[in-house]
Structure 1
Amino acid sequence: MPADEEPLLTSLFAETGASDEGTDRILDAALTLFASSGIRKTTMNQIAEAAELGVATVYRRFPQKRQLVHAALLRDVSRFIAFVEASVAGIEALDDQMAVGFAAFVRGVSERPVMLSVVRGDPETGVTLLADRAILDLGRTFIARTIRPWQESGVLADFDTDMVAEIFARLAQSLILTPGGIIPAENGDNTSKFARTYLLPLLYPRIARDPD
């Protein structure tokens, strides 16, 4: 695995330090409040109260609200990745994995109010910590790591894995950012059928060969 594909979540979580029970309570409380009241309107005092901790304890772990928002979003993303992985657990066929996984990716983000608000932008707070490039990188890396073992086993040809993975990720991101249109994104079965028909052929590209 290339160095730049070190698990992104692992490197990002390192910024927040080791987790403990108090930190977990703070992050869980923050996500609940962000989902119900929005990031801008949620105060550090409210988070401390919901976590049943003193506000000084919250500030010791997260001196700035931006740091707490960052860490809470990382927690939400990690749970989202686990959700997608669980959706394909036990599925042996590659085509089924990719179709079901793509549908789960689209559905999973749309069902996470905090992540969705950040991905679509929060002009009031300017929160873009995980928007655009970082979310895209997460999606591409996750998809590439799903495809690469199939290449190594010889089921798939040795095409540019990252290129194909980014096409999948960019399309999923587009469906999330700009819902509507004729590509089905609201119904998981229809989204899976779309992936089988239009996206799975990307896993079997005609690889151009340099002339001898």
Structure 2
Amino acid sequence: MPSIPSMLQRILDKPVSDGEIKVLESALSAFLDFGIKRTSMGEIARRAGISPATLYRRFESKNDLVEAVSLREAQRFVAEIDKRVQTVESTEDQLVEIFVAFIASMAGNELLRRLLRTEPDLILPRLTTEAGPILTVGRTYLAEKLRELRPTDRDFDPDLVAEIMARLALSLALTPDGLIPLDDIDAGREFARRTLLPMVVAHGAS
């Protein structure tokens, strides 16, 4: 298994060609329709408009393709957070947007929700007893974003706040029904201001 820094670097830096995007979108579409187990490489090739032989030249196995689709979803996830942060200026508003984007994007991921519903035996171990690597990648990424927003605040612990955010997002992805708003962005922002910001700005307020 790749180390956490290399896993995160692949998410942040790995370029995707136009031809590869079409294959990955075709695979994602098939996974959403049939699930991962029931999707054949032939079906993905058909949707991508290429031969199975061409598909196997690009991806040696379905496991490799599943990993590539997961990486692409993670890249979309990161892009959504960056996009939201760029829409606001103040540090506090940026912290709120990071929180809302991270929570909502993970809890609302269509493929993840589909797999939790139809193939829990495949996905649940990776999100529960084997979730350490996922949490570490999420925490590492979030901590770096938080450090960028509060680079001179030595009293602020970005790793701890990022850990809480990552664990909350994972919990909400597994059990989205509850009092924490996921579908209403404005309500999510208000929740973040009442719960997250007090943890982050307490030291800076003095």
**Same fold per TM (> 0.5)?**
yes
Residues 1:166 and 1:13: Cα distance change in structure 2 (over 3 Å): closer
Match for residue 144 of structure 1? 143
- 8 A Cα contact 2:107 2:173, kept in partner: yes
Distance 1:113 1:65 in 2: 20
Q: Secondary structure at the match of 1:74?
A: helix
The one-letter amino acid of 1:97's match is: Q
Residues 1:127 and 1:173: Cα distance change in structure 2 (over 3 Å): closer
Q: Which runs of 5+ in 1 are unaligned?
A: 207-212
Please give the per-residue CA displacement for 1:111-155, whole angstroms capped at 9, x wherever unaligned.
33113345789335x257964334323321222112112332x3x
- 8 A Cα contact 2:181 2:187, kept in partner: yes
Match for residue 31 of structure 2? 34
Residues 1:162 and 2:122 are matched in the alignment: no
- 8 A Cα contact 2:30 2:44, kept in partner: yes
Note the 1:103-182 alignment, pairs <5 A. Answer: 103-118=100-115, 122-124=119-121, 126-127=122-123, 131=127, 132-152=131-151, 154=152, 156-182=153-179
Distance 2:124 2:66 in 1: 10
Distance 1:49 1:136 in 2: 35
Q: Secondary structure at the match of 1:167?
A: helix
Among 167, 178, 183, which residue is 2:180 paired with? Answer: 183
Residues 1:119 and 1:99: Cα distance change in structure 2 (over 3 Å): farther
Residues 1:87 and 1:129: Cα distance change in structure 2 (over 3 Å): farther
Among 90, 99, 102, which residue is 1:93 paired with? Answer: 90
- 8 A Cα contact 2:26 2:44, kept in partner: yes
Residues 1:83 and 1:99: Cα distance change in structure 2 (over 3 Å): same
Q: Which runs of 5+ in 2 are unaligned?
A: none
Residues 1:68 and 2:65 are matched in the alignment: yes
Residues 1:130 and 1:80: Cα distance change in structure 2 (over 3 Å): farther
Distance 1:129 1:70 in 2: 16
Distance 1:179 1:59 in 2: 37
Distance 2:34 2:125 in 1: 19
Distance 1:120 1:142 in 2: 28
Q: How far 1:202 sits from its partner (Å)?
A: 1.4
Please give the per-residue CA displacement for 1:64-105, whole angstroms capped at 9, x wherever unaligned.
211111111110110121012101114121211121222222
Please give the per-residue CA displacement for 1:11-48, whole angstroms capped at 9, x wherever unaligned.
3699xx97444333221210111122221221100000
Question: RMSD between aligned alpha carbons?
Answer: 2.9
